[in-house]
Amino acid sequence: MNEPVPLNSGPLLQQLQDDTSGLSNRMLLSLAMAGLRVRLLRSAVTILSVVLAIAFLTYMGIAGSIERNVASSVVELERTFASNSDGDRNTSGTSSVTGALNDARVKHLNHEQAQDDANRMRFLLRRNGTSVETALSGSSTNTWLITMALLTCTVGVWNAMLMSVTERFREIGTMKCLGAVDSMVIKLFLFESAFQGLVGAIAGVILGLVVALTAAVLQFERFGWTRFPVDQLGKVVCMALIVGALLAVIGAAYPAFIAARMKPVDALRTEE
Amino acid sequence: MEQSTSLPMNPSPTIQRDYVVRTLGITRIYHMGSEKTHALRGVDLDIFRGEYMAIMGPSGSGKSTLFNIVGGLDKPTEGMVFVDEVDIAALDSYELAWLRCRKIGYIFQAYNLLPMLTAIENVTMPMTFANVDADDARDRAYDLLQKVGIGHRWSHRPGRMSGGQQQRVAIARALANNPAIVLADEPTANLDLHTGADIIAMLKELTQAAGVTVISATHDHKMLDICDRVVWIRDGQIDRVQRREDLDIHVGQIEEAETSH
CB atoms within 10 A of CB A12: 21
Residues near B195 by beta carbon (within 8 Å), at least 6 away in sequence:
B162, B163, B164, B167, B188
CATH of segment(s) B19-256: 3.40.50.300
Task: Please report whether residue A44 resides in a domain.
Answer: yes
What integer best gives the mean pLDDT of chain A? Answer: 80
Q: What residues pair up with B46 in beta bridges, in sequence order?
A: B22
Taking contacts as CB-CB distances below 8 angstroms, the residues of chain B near A181 are 93-94, 97
- The torsion angles phi and psi of B84, rounded to 5 degrees, stand at 50, 45
What integer best gives the mean pLDDT of chain B? Answer: 85
Residues near B90 by beta carbon (within 8 Å), at least 6 away in sequence:
A8, B80
In this complex, is the C-beta atom of A272 within 8 Å of any C-beta atom belonging to chain B? yes
Number of domains in chain A: 1
Pairing of strands B229-234, B104-107: unpaired
Task: Please report whether residue A117 resides in a domain.
Answer: no
Reading phi first (left if > 0) and then psi (alpha if -120 to 50, else beta), residue A34 is in alpha
pLDDT value for A18 = 46
* Contact: A12, B86; criterion CB under 8 Å: yes
In this complex, is the C-beta atom of A227 within 8 Å of any C-beta atom belonging to chain B? no
Whole-angstrom Cα distance, residue A12 to residue B103?
Answer: 9
Taking contacts as CB-CB distances below 8 angstroms, the residues of chain A near B82 are 6
**ipTM confidence score:** 0.82
- Residue range A67-93: mean pLDDT, rounded: 71
pLDDT in tens, A109-141: 677 777 888 888 888 888 887 777 777 776 666
- Provide the shortest C-alpha distance from residue B38 to chain A (in Å): 18
Question: Does residue B104 contact residue B20 with C-beta atoms inside 8 Å?
Answer: no
Whole-angstrom Cα distance, residue A141 to residue A206?
Answer: 24
Taking contacts as CB-CB distances below 8 angstroms, the residues of chain B near A1 are 6, 8, 46
A22 SS3 class? coil
Exposed / middle / buried, residue A4 (Cβ in 10 Å: 0-12, 13-18, 19+): exposed
Confidence of residue A2 (pLDDT cuts 50, 70, 90): very low
Max mean pLDDT range (A78-92, A176-190, B242-256): A176-190
Task: Please report whether residue A219 resides in a domain.
Answer: yes
For A63, the domain range is: 25-68+140-268
Task: Please report whether residue A131 resides in a domain.
Answer: no
A5 vs A55: which has the higher pLDDT: A55
pLDDT value for A1 = 40
pLDDT in tens, A192-215: 999 999 999 999 999 999 999 898
- The torsion angles phi and psi of A167, rounded to 5 degrees, stand at -65, -25
List chain B residues with pLDDT less than 50. Answer: 1-8, 11-16, 251-252, 257-261
pLDDT value for B41 = 92
pLDDT in tens, A141-169: 678 888 998 999 999 999 988 988 888 88
In this complex, is the C-beta atom of A27 within 8 Å of any C-beta atom belonging to chain B? yes
Taking contacts as CB-CB distances below 8 angstroms, the residues of chain A near B106 are 174, 177-178, 267
Whole-angstrom Cα distance, residue B161 to residue B184?
Answer: 20
Altogether, the residues listed in chain A come to a count of 272
- Among the partner residues A12, A15, A179, nearest to B129 by beta-carbon distance: A179
